[in-house]
Amino acid sequence: MKEKLTFLGIETSCDETAASVVREKSDGTGEILSNIVSSQIKEHKEFGGVVPELAARAHVEKIEFIIKKALEESNLHLNNINGISATAGPGLIVCLTVGLNAGKAIAGSLGKPFVAVNHLEGHALSPKINSNIKFPYLLLLISGGHTQFLEVIGVNNYKRLGTTIDDALGEAFDKTAKILGIEFPGGPKIEEWAKKGDENYFKLPKPIFKKGGCNLSFAGLKTAVLRTSKELKNQKEKYHLAASFQKTINEILYEKTKVAMEEFLKNKKNIQKTFVIAGGVASNLRIRENLAKLAKEKNFTSVFPPKNLCSDNAAMIAWAGIERYKINLVNNLDFPSKARWPLDASAPFLKGPGLKL
């Protein structure tokens, strides 16, 4: 019987120190033997956002303990692990380096295979831990740093269909929360506030709504929220603005996802229509309901990773390591950390003012 691959994954791309042990199952999915995540919310709260130097210091202090805890919880020793994978990018260089160096040190000292993982590929492949979905599938990756539609053709094979030309969706949520006076990290609390408000109270703009294919823009919406916030009279109107913001986001995602679905289906016959929504913002229940409804209308099967695999975690890094190792994508120990690392290297860089869409 073929040995089941077991990988230790390490993730330190931003402000979570995480380690996980994942084992491949005979049906092609994965079993998470441990998934330890240490967040740094307290360290960054007073600054209203992540401070890279503080985050890196916290990673250095915690990384050894977190890896040990992940191994203890998995009831395995490092000798039982087939390989080590660590996030190499994209992210904050000072943070990435901590986890990457830890992974390299373990792999080098034990003579184990080392796999450098793209954080975005971790998100892209994360649904395959729990669901035996087949390639290709359409992916909407929505997180604090990234918002893009991708055709997932296979491991290490991605075609970008659309992206944000300015703010990422998670960033728009966090900035709106800050404008409304919600303390960091505020994005998830927008959903709570929205439940108490009237989503039709304010009419907010939907930038490049009917143009630009399935590219997205959120900066103009954020500016409108800022302008509107200066005229709010009471707490109730803050709830109304949170609700109106969330509704506008859902209208944008609904329209742009329709375009992405059409683009994905071009020149394809007899294909399984699978739509995966991953990344931290995929935890938002209203966004899940909105996109699941659209998928049903368009005869797509919608797949959401469990909430604990939506936010940054090391289980998805361990799993991506297994998937890459299986097709001989192993890295040398001098692999560098990368602040930018697009999944589709051939896609044009779309960021900043003056873009013509």
Looking at the fold, whether 312 and 292 belong to one and the same domain comes out as no
Residue from 215, 37, 81, 230 nearest 140 by CA: 215
Residue from 59, 133, 53 nearest 300 by CA: 133
Looking at the fold, whether 29 and 43 belong to one and the same domain comes out as yes
Beta strands in the chain (DSSP E): 6-11, 16-24, 30-39, 83-89, 114-118, 137-142, 147-154, 157-163, 274-278, 301-303
pLDDT per residue over 133-192, tens digit each? 999 999 999 988 899 999 999 999 999 999 999 999 999 999 999 999 998 778 789 999
Asked if residue 145 lies in contact with residue 174, where contact means CB atoms within 8 angstroms, the answer is no
Structural domain contains residue 346: no
Domains contained in the chain, number: 2
> Which CATH number does the domain housing residue 178 bear?
3.30.420.40
Looking at the fold, whether 313 and 241 belong to one and the same domain comes out as no
Looking at the fold, whether 215 and 165 belong to one and the same domain comes out as yes
Looking at the fold, whether 251 and 109 belong to one and the same domain comes out as no
Looking at the fold, whether 112 and 160 belong to one and the same domain comes out as no
pLDDT per residue over 45-100, tens digit each? 555 566 667 878 988 999 999 999 999 999 999 999 999 999 999 999 999 999 99
Global pTM reads 0.93
Structural domain contains residue 333: no
Q: Which pair of structure tokens corresponds to residue 335?
A: 């692999």
Looking at the fold, whether 300 and 312 belong to one and the same domain comes out as no
Average pLDDT, the chain: 92
Looking at the fold, whether 165 and 90 belong to one and the same domain comes out as no
CA distance 337 to 182: 33
Looking at the fold, whether 76 and 157 belong to one and the same domain comes out as no
Structural domain contains residue 250: yes
Structural domain contains residue 344: no
Question: Residue 349: what pLDDT?
Answer: 79
Question: Residue 1: what pLDDT?
Answer: 43
Structural domain contains residue 340: no
Looking at the fold, whether 150 and 295 belong to one and the same domain comes out as yes
Structural domain contains residue 131: no
Looking at the fold, whether 103 and 183 belong to one and the same domain comes out as no
Question: Residue 44: what pLDDT?
Answer: 46
Structural domain contains residue 160: yes
Looking at the fold, whether 231 and 145 belong to one and the same domain comes out as yes
Structural domain contains residue 345: no
Tell me the sheet residues that pair with 141: 148, 278
Q: Between 225 and 307, name the one with better pLDDT.
A: 225
The range of the structural domain enclosing residue 90 comes to 6-126+308-326
